Amino acid sequence: MNFVVVVFPGSNCDDDMVYVLREVLGQNVTKIFHKETQLPQNTDCVIVPGGFSYGDYLRSGAIARFSPVMPAIEAHAKRGGYVWGICNGFQILTEAGLLEGALLKNNSQKYICKNVFLTPQSTQAPLTKSLQKNTYKIPIAHGDGRYYADNDTLKRMEDNAQILFKYCDELGNITPEHNPNGSLLNIAGVCSANHRVFGMMPHPERASDNLGANTDGKDLFLSLLQNFS
Amino acid sequence: MTTIETAQKLGLLPEEFQKIEEILGRNPNFTELSAYSVMWSEHCSYKNSILHLKTLPKNAMPSPFSKDKKVGVLAEAGQENAGLVAISEDLACAFKIESHNHPSALEPYQGAATGVGGINRDIFTMGARPIAQMNTLRFGDLTQDRTKYLLKGVVKGIGDYGNAFGVPTVAGEVYFDDCYNVNPLVNAFSAGIVEIGKTASAIAFGVGNPVFIVGSATGKDGIQGASFASKDITKDSLNDLPAVQVGDPFQEKLLLEASLEIIEKDLIIGMQDMGAAGIICSTAEMSAKGEAGMIINLDKVPLRQKNMQAWEMLLSESQERMLVVAKQGREKEILDIFEKWDLHCVQIGEVTDTKRLLFYHKGELVADLPAESLVLGGGAPIYKREQKEPDYFQKLKNFDINAIPQPQENDFPKIAKFLFSNLNICSRKWIYEQYDSMVGTANLGINRPADAGVVLVKSPKGKATEKALVMAVDCNGKYVQANPEIGAMIAVCESARNVVCAGGEPLAITNNLNFGNPYNPEVYWQFANAVKGIKNACEALGTPVTGGNVSFYNQYTNEKGEKLPVFPTPTIGMLGLLEDLSFQTTLSFQQADDLIYLLGKNQNDISSSEYLYNYIGEKQSPVPYFDLKNEIAVQKIVFDLIRKKMIQSAHDLSDGGLFVALAESSFQYNLGFEVQKPANLKDIRKDAFYFGEAQSRIIVSVKPENKVHFEEFLKENNFEDFLQIGHVTTENFKCDNAIWINDQDAKKLFEETLENYL
């Protein structure tokens, strides 16, 4: 697949994403700066990486959505292209309206960085379709990760298999104690109605390299590659 | 016209004022006097410490670990903004530690945040991309509201700045003691990677080369911060609040990217970050180093406030700024790069060959100073201070372990519970989970915890190498208080021991010398002896000192007028190298039935242990047993065992002694242990065996099938101080057939104690 990783001022997981895609998975990757107004031809998947775009001043992702590159990403999504936002990227995609819901301050009021367990929910999204295990150990690192949407939206998303991941314990039990940030329904990631725009708070790119002794995150990339169409 | 009184108000001594008049051959104006006041402050000039610092080993020395191998020191202490050592034929590591104690005492959030910002600028101003951070913190009594406020503010400040800047925090240490109640310590360490030959230097030369100020606009924040850092904290210190700077990690991230781009494209002569003493310090140091001068037009400096005076502009410590000396003809390319990152980049002057700094403001020459006269190694004063051995030092020697009753069998559960819920022993999870420890996808310790941080080295082109940096920060201030020379040696050796246990080879250190007022002869005695200890330990370990920071005036005057210095706290940041990733070693036991060995000499010693100091409550005892030869021997054998792949885990004994170390090794996989105090240690008390902190001891676990091979290897290497004390089990912490505490209760106490205080 041809991946594009977008760099906003303040992005800091862009190189991590490039490393995993290029060095671990052997994919084609192009980094583009947010001042570009066009995506490279043949772009299959746009990655909006984590970090603190525009310092997260005002509100996470609120300024980045006005970056010059955003109309091109929106057009790509409208054409049915893949877009994947991680952490700050997820926040940007909700601010831009490419994904439903919003990400609020963690209920602990603190930034949290640690390994958590996720259980895949959607059998329809390419990102989760081929995930075989019940739980995946993938780290989070955010201050604003509490997923919120109104009840009707949540119900519609659940019915349409748009919930990608929920926070759980090591065995897959979805409990309040294992919800690290107060997200509604323990939601850790969601996708668009056509199952091609993904957003998640946990960082699969941080759990993809053998050297780090945890490759649970790599399975997400492999699922996407396998189900790419 | 300025007077001695003005000079004294600015923190200068009368004799220093006279010296300034001699240098200039006239009376300095207020702007000039202000410039000297910050440049000759302790913080910038090291005037009270440099004589001792110069005794520290700067260059490569023989290493006890690898024969015929010497550390390639590419930038020695004091040469650049940070030390630089080679880690391979084509890569080098820039690293340094720096304090932000006084700002953090007043405004913990901004104080700590700007400390993180400042140390990272020191790294990337050399062209190195920061890849790992550590920090060391000291706070007072955590039951006090103010201490909670300081801790929460400092942790949030470090987190918010480092997380947004995007460099992982991979290790650190925190201690609590009442001596830090008013004056906490906040030391921040950063390390970065650069290709050899592609570094930038903090130098100015070449007549006509343009001088740029880049990054944030200049405001009135942090004016005379360097002077503020060079006096005691008192109740009037709040009046100095404007001396605390305000940080913006977003600007710093942009500045990082833009700075590395102009270095990579070879557009500059030199670059220096503006930390302490802002424009005056960077212009003076760069010019002095290149034996050049500068003409600077202050009207060109982008300001964030109106009506700033010339002296305010020279002294402002507004953050996220750099001074760049460009190559003539490359101005447009530099401007374009800063334009891309939406940062200020303004030419404010040019390089001359007069060796003088000329500052113009509103058309007038407001300062005319010889650059050399302002800086360390140039005109800045150097003092030898008086030393006096404090009375307490001899009294500690009267301590007799026999005066401390041995615990009864039913005391051990109480002690065990106490230790896991002791603030100096319990997990720092509440703190480190607020730091991004994983950005960069290079922290190899997340799923394999070790005594030191282990960070994969990626080439600047983004490819993984076979190597990792291994790093630790250490200093037990209690030990240094008890004996400054030995305590400082222990700090160096513990940091090396941690690096070795994680699989690394110690390369070089950076130090952060936190002490009280240097004009107090007893404090100065502590300082001089601690430096001596660092020197001895570094020479034995073959680890040169490549830089660091001195922070004096860490003390407080109480209502009775007594001056109370903090424990002398010479924090050591050790950089090590794992030359082959397969040598990475965890502190965690791997599976039940593995044999547990204790390496190193055991002693009938409980001195200065957490057990004695905080459980028994005896505050007056000497430093724990320490012998430098034994230390090197135990480190060397563990270093070799790891390279022979004969051990499953390695963990050094520190706070809380053997019992705590065994528990820490058990926690990750919910394992247990069964150990016995060996019969041949009958002269060693049970409390000393399990809770004593005699130094230079390491526990390792060994697969049962490797037992013979392992023991033979030790004997072949003439290492006789080893004892098989037991084995790993699936559950329970069993010592001499007793279970003092349920393993799950221990883990819960260990993990939740800090949070429960807050």
* Residue A60 burial by Cβ neighbours in a 10 Å radius (0-12, 13-18, 19+): buried
**Is A195 among the residues known to form the active site?**
no
Beta bridge partners of B136: B173, B187
Contact yes or no for B225/B110 (Cβ under 8 A): no
| Facing B249 at nearest CB: one of A55, A208, A214 | A55
| Facing B164 at nearest CB: one of A16, A22, A52 | A52
**Residue in B156, B149, B142, B164 with CA at minimum distance from that of residue B110:** B156
**Residue in B75, B88, B69, B73 with CA at minimum distance from that of residue B195:** B88
Q: Do B440 and A115 touch (CB under 8 A)?
A: no
**B385 pLDDT tier (thresholds 50, 70, 90):** very high
Express each pLDDT in B668-703 by its tens digit: 999 999 999 999 999 999 999 999 999 999 999 999
- How far apart, in whole angstroms, are the C-alpha atoms of residue B232 and residue B224? 14
Contact yes or no for B423/B429 (Cβ under 8 A): no
Close Cβ partners of B111 (under 8 Å, ≥ 6 residues apart)? B100, B102, B103, B104, B105, B153, B154, B157, B186, B244
- How far apart, in whole angstroms, are the C-alpha atoms of residue B218 and residue B695? 49
Chain A hits for B163, CB-CB cut-off 8 Å, are: 52, 111, 113, 141, 143
Chain B hits for A204, CB-CB cut-off 8 Å, are: none
**Residue in B380, B476, B510, B485 with CA at minimum distance from that of residue B43:** B380
pLDDT of B579 strictly over 60: yes
**Is A170 among the residues known to form the active site?**
no
User: How many CB atoms are located within 10 Å of the residue B756 CB?
Assistant: 10
Q: Determine the average pLDDT of the residues in B536-548.
A: 96
Average pLDDT, chain B: 94
The structural domain count of chain A equals 1
- How far apart, in whole angstroms, are the C-alpha atoms of residue A110 and residue A182? 12
CATH code of residue A128: 3.40.50.880
Tokens read off for B596: 């547990």
Chain A hits for B440, CB-CB cut-off 8 Å, are: 15-16
What is the β-pairing status of strands B169-176 and B210-215?
unpaired
Catalytic residue among B43, B102, B361, B727: B43
Q: Determine the average pLDDT of the residues in B486-504.
A: 98
3-state secondary structure chain A: CEEEEEECCCECCHHHHHHHHHHHCCCEEEEEECCCCCCCCCCCEEEECCECHHHHCCCCCCCHHHCCCHHHHHHHHHCCCEEEEECHHHHHHHHCCCCCCEEECCCCCCCEEEEEEEEECCCCCCCCCCCCCCCEEEEEEECCCEEECCHHHHHHHHHCCCEEEEEECCCCCCCHHHCCCCCHHHEEEEECCCCCEEEECCCHHHHCCHHHCCCCCHHHHHHHHHHCC
Percent of chain B exceeding pLDDT 90 equals 88
**B19 pLDDT tier (thresholds 50, 70, 90):** very high
pLDDT on residue A96? 96
CB-based contact (8 Å) between B165 and chain A?
Answer: yes
Contact yes or no for B127/B161 (Cβ under 8 A): no
pLDDT of B240 strictly over 90: no
**B531 pLDDT tier (thresholds 50, 70, 90):** very high
The domains of chain B, with CATH numbers, are: 41-68+85-196+451-584 (3.30.1330.10), 200-379 (3.90.650.10), 393-431+585-758 (3.90.650.10)
Q: Determine the average pLDDT of the residues in B232-244.
A: 65
Length of chain A in terms of residues written: 229
The residues on A that touch B, with CB distances below 8 Å, are 9-10, 12-13, 15-16, 18-20, 22-23, 33, 35, 50-52, 54-57, 110-115, 139, 141, 143, 203, 205-206, 208-209, 211-214
> Degrees (nearest 5) of the Cα angle B587, B589, B590?
120
**Residue in B302, B296, B326 with CA at minimum distance from that of residue B210:** B326
Domain range for A152 is: 2-226
- How far apart, in whole angstroms, are the C-alpha atoms of residue B540 and residue B61? 9
Backbone dihedral angles phi then psi of residue B385, each to the nearest 5 degrees: -100, 160
- How far apart, in whole angstroms, are the C-alpha atoms of residue B371 and residue B378? 9
Beta bridge partners of A142: A112
**B238 pLDDT tier (thresholds 50, 70, 90):** low
Contact yes or no for B341/B257 (Cβ under 8 A): yes
pLDDT on residue B246? 80
pLDDT on residue B227? 65
pLDDT on residue B508? 97
**pLDDT per residue rounded down to tens, chain A (229 residues):** 999 999 999 999 999 999 999 999 999 999 999 999 999 999 999 999 999 999 988 889 899 999 999 999 999 999 999 999 999 999 999 999 999 999 999 999 999 999 999 999 999 999 999 999 999 999 999 999 999 999 999 999 999 999 999 999 999 999 999 999 999 999 999 999 999 999 999 999 999 999 999 999 999 999 999 999 8
pLDDT of B276 strictly over 90: no
pLDDT on residue A229? 85
| Facing B254 at nearest CB: one of A9, A111, A212 | A9
**B461 pLDDT tier (thresholds 50, 70, 90):** confident
Nearest chain B Cα distance for residue A111, angstroms: 5
Nearest chain A Cα distance for residue B459, angstroms: 11
Cα four-point dihedral sign B291, B295, B299, B300: negative
**B563 pLDDT tier (thresholds 50, 70, 90):** confident
pLDDT of B53 strictly over 80: yes
**Residue in B607, B571, B388, B629 with CA at minimum distance from that of residue B482:** B607
Express each pLDDT in B94-137 by its tens digit: 999 999 999 999 999 999 999 999 999 999 999 999 999 999 99
- How far apart, in whole angstroms, are the C-alpha atoms of residue A86 and residue A206? 11
Close Cβ partners of B223 (under 8 Å, ≥ 6 residues apart)? B242, B243, B312, B315, B316, B317
H helix intervals, B354-476? 371-374, 391-396, 412-420, 429-432
Cα–Cα distance list, B137 to B181, B185, B322, B512 (Å): 12, 5, 28, 12
User: How many CB atoms are located within 10 Å of the residue B618 CB?
Assistant: 17
pLDDT of B233 strictly over 80: no
pLDDT of B241 strictly over 60: no
pLDDT of B710 strictly over 70: yes
Nearest chain A Cα distance for residue B669, angstroms: 13
Tokens read off for A182: 């107060």
Contact yes or no for B17/B4 (Cβ under 8 A): yes
pLDDT of B242 strictly over 70: no
Q: Hey, what amino acid is at B222?
A: G
Q: Do B464 and A15 touch (CB under 8 A)?
A: no
Residue in A23, A206, A208, A214 to test binding to B, most B beta-carbons within 10 Å: A206
What is the β-pairing status of strands B83-86 and B91-99?
antiparallel
| Facing B438 at nearest CB: one of A19, A139, A211 | A139
Q: Please state which of the ranges A139-153, B1-15, B345-359 shows the lowest mean pLDDT.
A: B1-15
Q: Hey, what amino acid is at B258?
A: A
Chain A hits for B586, CB-CB cut-off 8 Å, are: none
CB-based contact (8 Å) between B336 and chain A?
Answer: no
* Residue B473: strand, helix, or coil: strand
Tokens read off for B716: 């072949």
Q: Determine the average pLDDT of the residues in B356-385.
A: 94
pLDDT on residue B504? 97
**B417 pLDDT tier (thresholds 50, 70, 90):** very high
Residue of B nearest to A137 (CA): B447
- How far apart, in whole angstroms, are the C-alpha atoms of residue B212 and residue B351? 11
| pTM score of the predicted model | 0.95
Chain B hits for A115, CB-CB cut-off 8 Å, are: 446-447
**Is A205 among the residues known to form the active site?**
yes
- How far apart, in whole angstroms, are the C-alpha atoms of residue B20 and residue B32? 9
Express each pLDDT in B219-231 by its tens digit: 887 776 666 666 6
**Residue in B567, B438, B531, B546 with CA at minimum distance from that of residue B166:** B438
Q: Hey, what amino acid is at A136?
A: Y
Tokens read off for B666: 């058990």
pLDDT on residue B176? 97
Contact yes or no for B575/B471 (Cβ under 8 A): yes
Chain A hits for B165, CB-CB cut-off 8 Å, are: 12
Chain A hits for B462, CB-CB cut-off 8 Å, are: 15, 18-19, 22-23
User: How many CB atoms are located within 10 Å of the residue B734 CB?
Assistant: 17
Q: Do B464 and A211 touch (CB under 8 A)?
A: yes
Express each pLDDT in B646-670 by its tens digit: 999 999 999 999 999 999 999 999 9
Contact yes or no for A182/A145 (Cβ under 8 A): no
**Residue in B530, B542, B702 with CA at minimum distance from that of residue B632:** B542
Catalytic residue among A34, A178, A191, A205: A205
What is the β-pairing status of strands B733-735 and B672-675?
parallel
Start-to-end CA span in chain A (Å): 10
CB-based contact (8 Å) between B342 and chain A?
Answer: yes
pLDDT on residue B305? 85
Q: Do A20 and B458 touch (CB under 8 A)?
A: no
pLDDT of B449 strictly over 70: yes
Write b or e for each residue in B683-710: b if 16 or more Cβ atoms lie within 10 A of its Cβ, otherwise e: ebbbbbbbbbbbbbbbbbbbbeebeeeb
Nearest chain A Cα distance for residue B439, angstroms: 7
pLDDT of B561 strictly over 90: no
**Residue in B328, B345, B347 with CA at minimum distance from that of residue B337:** B345
pLDDT on residue B237? 66
Contact yes or no for B734/B406 (Cβ under 8 A): no
pLDDT on residue B93? 97
Nearest chain A Cα distance for residue B75, angstroms: 28
What is the β-pairing status of strands B453-458 and B364-370?
unpaired
Q: Do A212 and B444 touch (CB under 8 A)?
A: yes
Residue in B439, B448, B466, B590 to test binding to A, most A beta-carbons within 10 Å: B439
